[in-house]
Structure 1
């Protein structure tokens, strides 16, 4: 069949999800293209063909993360339930601090995510009488956990 390219040798959604996890563990500049190729098991040329660049993969990973992982956290917050996996905030925290100030696309995605979480907390405040400042507390706790390093001991 003319005009048909070679079938893609990887699952784009799985690669995007794995990239989100990698970027959540390290800052954007701390992840090289070589790290991505090795961690994701995707050839460099395939990565560039599908995502265009490291930034393209980062944006796709951030979008995937916000579409697939953030809604559950928002639901938990809206219900006044303690977050069962606050590591969902890791990529959002890093994106907000590191990339949003220098990348308008990331800034827009992060702003939308914060609004989603804020709205969930305001719903919880109306229904359950909880404080909408819970997001600040959750973010602070997550930041402290990240700052503690792999052992989780801040001292």
Structure 2
């Protein structure tokens, strides 16, 4: 009989999602995961198979627990301006992992592309609830990118 698992898998996946959302897939090494998550390398590989396996688990967790609730909020926003305010606010950080997955991993990983496409469809559906002709999801994601860039910008003198 093996030793009982010394970590909470759900917590590790949640923490990995936050790490990938802040630094992207290529910006996170296995050493970073081991250090940040407090999980032994062997345990990480035994549980998730690989860095990519953990990434997919984190992406799926994130879509279920962050993007879908945000999409519900977007659907209740009343209009596109209200939805835009949501993604420009702290709640909009819920789209950061999706944006990174869309530009970094989806072009090279069909499973990630499928998950990203499903998430974008959920957002499109939510936007359809706030406008007869919803603006493209790309406009909403563009607003989030701008807000994220402005967070990192140094103030002009």
TM range (shorter): 0.7 to 0.9
Instruction: List per-residue Cα deviations over 1:57-115 (Å, max 9, x = no partner).
Output: 00000000001111211111111254261001100000000000000000000000000
Q: Cα distance, 1:154 vs. partner?
A: 7.1
Confirm or deny that 1:138 pairs with 2:140: yes
Q: What pairs up with 1:18-33 in 2 under 5 angstroms?
A: 18-33=15-30
Aligned partner of residue 108 in structure 2, secondary structure: coil
Q: Cα distance, 1:134 vs. partner?
A: 6.6
**Where do 5+ consecutive residues of structure 1 fail to align?**
none
Measured in 1, the distance between the counterparts of 2:101 and 2:9 equals: 21
> Structure 2 length normalisation: TM-score?
0.86
Q: 2:68 aligns with which of 32, 50, 71?
A: 71
Measured in 2, the distance between the counterparts of 1:154 and 1:100 equals: 33
Q: How many residues align?
A: 147
Q: Cα distance, 1:137 vs. partner?
A: 3.4
Alpha-carbon distance change, 124 to 149 in structure 1, aligned in 2, over 3 angstroms: closer
1:121 aligns with 127
Q: Cα distance, 1:124 vs. partner?
A: 1.9
Relative contact order, CA 8 A, sep 6+: which one is greater? 2
> Structure 1 length normalisation: TM-score?
0.87
